[in-house]
A = this chain, B = another copy of it.
């Protein structure tokens, strides 16, 4: 190393400085505050600190030059390439490349500590990678007769020396593994440190596959994303039906089950935890990994699933005052919840907001972040209740409104969940009143040739949430249903699909074609259920607008499976969602699950959502007199059939069509079924 100074410029940060010849690039970066990743602490093992030499050159593989900018390729780097494959052209390990002449260095995204994880959805901010659990590789001094320090102390001293980590606590599970790891790793170990505070795991030598799982426990579906905590990548996704379904399809019937079976809550807790543990096994096997690679999970859920997961009896959530045991975000230990990941693993549960507005809504807010923009954003997440968020950077209002399960196809005469055989699209000819429809599992309309064969033996089994919305909207547009929601029996003479049953009128969408099948009709009562549901949703939105003091909504985001599969035009026809230019309405996908993923990858987002949730104002629909008024007003279908009919020359496609025609029963895994 000489006294001569060399200039270095880091891209993309633009930071620059002068350093003595011979300074490692990594050291230069650190002293300039340029974030370069490293697990091995500069030992040329992990390759996380690789950078690209943008100007000048350096000798590689024995070549030399008079004007090189970086030191020649080192033995350590050559050894790294042997183990992990050749580095890309002009790439170096910044811990082993030293400065010889002025140079421009690019730090690629994958080498940045707080790198951005690209979210696939448009119009969204990326996730900053900043995990709560971090890996640190250290070489630990050997114990000796003269040294009174125990191995645990030697480890802590090494972590302080190499990583400036102080006041760490070594957890009970690590102590029995420490000695073995030191022996196997020849005094080199990797530890996982949680929140710069707790040593929760240890491995011999260099360990590079820390995992985390983001979980969304829906009433119907439990979905889990396995993520690499080192680079933020999603390594796998798995989902299962919520096994609690055997205690009741919807939330309230599960709460009833618990009321009648004192051990019910415990059983449900056990089955949901077992389901999660099975998912972890499936996800780990999918990447040929070990269950103990999973160090953290984050979880969102509606209040009842949230309580049951935590082992809290949810019966109080079944009635006023809908008292949650806890609304705060929780940092727990996986072991305490019988979650089989690493024994030192952690669980972060996002905060709940109110008795009906759970950690899933917090996840939606975290993913949709209306608080970061000036535009007034409405976020709707429909389940058995719809959670509604209205706000911008100045103010945020949240409420839950009792839509009931009609939007999910429940309490509808021919209703069913969105699985194979369910009608999901409906068109009714305005003149002939003849319908055509599509069912899940086929791309063909029912009046197209080959439809019968495509449906095969499954047949047309029922109508799902998006199907019933389109059916009712089409019946309204075709004049079969009045603005009051009454089926016009006078049309019986025009088309026999309008028929009387049980002293009311119904409309037959489909006649059974085989034995064992049933006709599929939309009854007067079905229409009433949709009216009740949409009135509840509309009244909730209206109430928030009232409190906000504005009718203006700049953007509408529809979260969850509901938002992904309904036809927005038809939803507007029914007055499900308030007026807003159609181009500003979009599906948010599984926003709750995305929120869990953000919380998993960026620990700062946890403090943020906890703050936002405290800041947001909760509006309790049940105690607002106006809610009832708005509810009654909103029962009618809007007088909008004419202005909207132009839309139906060519029906706009549903927002998300991906996988819609995928084969098999994977369909029910495509999104987040909610209740």
Binding site for B on A (CB under 8 A): 143-153, 170-173, 175-176, 178-180, 310-313, 316, 320-328, 330, 332-333, 335-337, 352, 354, 618, 620, 622-623
Contact = CB atoms under 8 A, between A and B. Distances in A.
Nearest to A180: B313
Contacts of A172: 310-311, 330, 332-333, 336-337
A140 to B, nearest CB: 11
Contact of A145 (B147, B179, B620): B620
Contacts of A311: 172, 175-176
A152 B330 CA distance: 11
A457 to B, nearest CB: 47
B180 A336 contact: no
Judged by DSSP, the binding face of A is loop
Given A332-B172, A336-B172, A325 B178 contact: yes
- Please give me the 6 A-B residue pairs with the lowest Cβ-Cβ distance, nearest first: A143-B323, A152-B326, A150-B327, A172-B336, A176-B311, A150-B324
A147 B147 CA distance: 58
A142 to B, nearest CB: 8
Contacts of A170: 326
24 contacts: A143-B323, A143-B324, A145-B320, A145-B322, A145-B620, A146-B620, A147-B321, A149-B327, A150-B326, A150-B327, A150-B352, A151-B325, A151-B326, A152-B326, A152-B327, A152-B328, A172-B332, A175-B325, A175-B330, A176-B325, A179-B313, A179-B316, A179-B323, A179-B325
A312 B175 contact: yes
A328 B150 contact: yes
Contacts of A335: 335-336
A313 B176 contact: yes
Contacts of A336: 171-173, 335
A153 B321 contact: no
Nearest to A343: B336
A397 B622 CA distance: 72
Nearest to A353: B148
B312 A179 contact: yes
Task: Kindly report how many copies of this chain are found in the complex they form together.
Answer: 2
Given A172-B333, A321-B145, A335-B336, A328 B622 contact: no
A152, A325, A337, A620: residue with the most chain B Cβ atoms closer than 10 Å: A325
B310 A175 contact: yes
A622 B312 contact: no
Nearest to A331: B169
Contacts of A352: 150
Nearest to A326: B152
A542 to B, nearest CB: 20
Given A143-B321, A178-B325, 10 more contacts: A145-B623, A148-B354, A150-B327, A153-B328, A172-B330, A175-B325, A175-B330, A176-B311, A179-B316, A335-B336
Contacts of A328: 150, 152-153
A218 to B, nearest CB: 21
Contacts of A337: 172
A175 B326 contact: yes
Nearest to A614: B148
A322 B143 CA distance: 8
B148 A327 contact: yes
A254 B336 CA distance: 33
Contacts of A313: 176, 179-180
Nearest to A315: B179
Nearest to A351: B150
A178 B151 CA distance: 40
A533 B16 CA distance: 70
Nearest to A327: B150
A622 B145 contact: yes
Nearest to A176: B311
A170 B327 CA distance: 12
Contacts of A312: 175-176, 178-179
A28 to B, nearest CB: 37
A143 B325 CA distance: 9
